[in-house]
Structure 1
Amino acid sequence: MKYLARTDTGEPLLGDDDGFVPLGSVHPELDSIREALSPATHGKLRDVATATAKPVPAEHISFGLPLASFGKLWGIGLNYEEHAGDLDEERPEEPASFMKPNSVLTGAGGPIRLPPREQSDRVTAEAELAVVIGRTCNGVSEAEADDVIAGFLPVIDMTAEDVLQRNPRFLTRAKSYDTFLVVGDVISVPEEGFDLTELTVTTEVNGEVAAKNVVDNMLFPPQKIVSFHSKVMSLSPGDLFSTGTPGAEPIEPGDEVRATVESIGSVNSLVKR
């Protein structure tokens, strides 16, 4: 596994399990993480061992968002049958997708800021596996989807559930409050043949597991999601798909939320109002 990240001052990094080095010390031709997404889709990121710099352990680095700016932010609802049942929703026949504005983005630690109670008094947090697109594409097949995926990261998605319950047409508003998407520090770039299907996605609040499930139980796996939406619109490097949650949990000020995707990473955030 290789990792793409940025420091909190914006320096692009390439890492592995031994630590991180400046991206330019391995790929002098690349100036940013966005530029590194395309070679990541082809398995052409060089080994950290070839760097002209010594690796620094992750615990000694202050990370920022992995991209200076993300592209389109897609979310997928009801992508685990059990979660659909929890919400008294029928299993969708097609991906139940929606978009979120870039203003929802915040980094690890957050904080997640709840809206005023007069706007929403029930916000839920949801752990999800996110997919980062690495190449411009349109109309890709499911078999081709891995060739346009740069990597994966954990995210925490939020929903103002009481807003949504008033009217399903309020979905965009319910999903779009500032800080309603917490993004992990690091984009994980697996080696060719890496199998996502048995990985566990877990939502935790205050150290207690609220929901967990495996990727194989998704109604629409990541490759299907990417293929489906590439036939709706062109996808670009830095576009992100949150692939759905195994379950949501109500959150209140003072809570700590964690999303963990086995072998990919985890991200946590404090909750404030």
Structure 2
Amino acid sequence: MNATYLARTATGEPILGDEAGFVPLSSVHPGLGSVRAALPKAASGGLGSPDDAVADRVPRTDLSFGPPLAEFGKLWGIGLNYAEHAGDLDEQRPDEPASFMKPNTALAGPGGPIRLPPTDRSQRVTAEAELGVLVGRTCRDIETADVEDVVAGYLPVIDMTAEDVLQRNPRFLTRAKSFDTFLIPGPAIVVPEESVELSSLSVRTEVNGETEAENRIENMLFPPAEIVAFHSGVMTLQPGDLFSTGTPGAAPIEPGDEVRAVVESVGTASASVRR
């Protein structure tokens, strides 16, 4: 996938990059002081390239990354979006997206760590790799065919669930999903340079280097564009809103584990696990 990357350094500097490296965002767009301010340009195809910069590229390996946005907007999650995963949980296939929301306090930066709750609150937490879709323009009631015009880009996401809390009562979903550090975004937003076909890409949950679950986006019950369009009929979507589009499968995690969400052609989010 030919793409440009939007990111922030560990000290909060907005940067723009490609496979060759990153430059300050301001060296391409002097009027943009943040990644959030660049999201509408990313959605409209006007982001530009590091080739346009008045600064030299810095290699990715020489940079430390913080969260790609200082503050995300609404955080939507989609459950049971692969038929195989629903079957694993003995759940029926939903007729509409099984969506939920998470608080911003659940976010942690790239690398984590994921901090497990005290054992008196949860003794079984799972990690789930997902494709994240980031909204770049304000929209309401859009059609599926028009979603690409409002999406800024994509990123890998690790979502967590306190499964024992959820199993006690499905009405506890919000609590089970909302502990601090229960959402880890990847370090960079991937902004495709042209129309992108996501369906053939794979999403993989890894723990300690072992693949715990993997599937292709084409096997989602509700593809990413349908998810965004559906929820734009529920509420106004704004730049910085993030959709985690569902996982091919979850894996239990324990202190000392290393978790990765690997989304083909998009990137990897990783985090260590602590209590």
TM range (shorter): over 0.9
Q: Which residue identity lines up with residue 181 of structure 1 in the other structure?
A: L
CA distance in 1, matches of 2:12, 2:111: 17
Does residue 183 in structure 1 map to residue 185 in structure 2? yes
TM-score for both structures, normalised by structure 2: 0.98
- Tell me by how many angstroms 1:46 deviates: 1.1
Deviation track 1:126-158 (CA, whole Å, cap 9, x = no partner) reads: 000000000011000101111110000001000
- Tell me by how many angstroms 1:88 deviates: 0.3
CA distance in 2, matches of 1:267, 1:193: 23
Using the TM superposition, name which of 192-201 and 255-264 deviates more. 192-201
Using the TM superposition, name which of 41-50 and 201-210 deviates more. 41-50
Question: Cα RMSD between the aligned structures?
Answer: 0.6
Indicate the percent of aligned positions where both proteins have the same amino acid. Answer: 68
What corresponds to 1:226 in structure 2? 228
- Tell me by how many angstroms 1:119 deviates: 0.8
Q: Which among 26, 30, 54 is matched to residue 28 of structure 2?
A: 26
What corresponds to 2:103 in structure 1? 101
- Tell me by how many angstroms 1:109 deviates: 1.2
Alignment gaps of 5+ in structure 1: none
- Tell me by how many angstroms 1:193 deviates: 1.6
What corresponds to 1:253 in structure 2? 255
Alignment gaps of 5+ in structure 2: none
CA distance in 1, matches of 2:122, 2:48: 47
What corresponds to 1:47 in structure 2? 49
Structure 1 runs (4+) greater than 6 angstroms displaced: none
Aligned pairs for 1:73-222 within 5 A: 73-222=75-224
Deviation track 1:184-217 (CA, whole Å, cap 9, x = no partner) reads: 1100001222111111100000000000001110
Question: How many pairs were matched up?
Answer: 273
CA distance in 1, matches of 2:113, 2:159: 13
Q: SS at 1:143's partner residue?
A: helix
CA distance in 2, matches of 1:204, 1:98: 24
Does residue 37 in structure 1 map to residue 39 in structure 2? yes
TM-score for both structures, normalised by structure 1: 0.99
